[in-house]
């Protein structure tokens, strides 16, 4: 299983390490510790806690990127 450090977890979620620590202190985010006592985070747990907005009108960022790319045949696409 892949695990992330505190800094890696912050980068993965687009937040700051202090945001990750607040989620731990509030009991919202599960974690483990390595043999040196450093935090380790499961990426699935990070996704659960820091999931993108799931409203019906929300368009995932990955879809926005696809829409914004030019047409596959090299012609400019329209937005």
pTM (2 d.p.): 0.64
What is the residue extent of each domain of the chain?
Answer: 6-68
Helices (H), 1-79: 6-13, 17-25, 43-49, 61-68
Domain at 6-68: CATH code? 1.10.1660
Which among 5, 9, 17, 8 is positioned nearest to 47, based on CA atoms? 9
What pLDDT, on the 0 to 100 scale, is given for residue 13? 84
Average pLDDT, the chain: 76
> Binning pLDDT at 50, 70 and 90, where does residue 17 land?
very high
What are the tens digits of pLDDT across the range 22-42?
Answer: 999 999 999 999 999 999 999
Q: pLDDT higher for 56 or 75?
A: 75
């Amino acid at each position: 299983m892949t695990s992330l450090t505190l800094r890696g977890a912050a980068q993965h979620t687009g937040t700051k390490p202090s945001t990750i620590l607040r989620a731990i202190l509030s009991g919202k985010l599960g974690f483990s510790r390595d043999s040196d006592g450093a935090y380790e985070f499961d990426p699935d747990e990070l996704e659960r806690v820091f999931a993108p907005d799931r409203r019906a009108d929300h368009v995932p960022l990955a879809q926005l990127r696809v829409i914004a790319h030019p047409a596959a045949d090299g012609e400019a696409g329209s937005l």
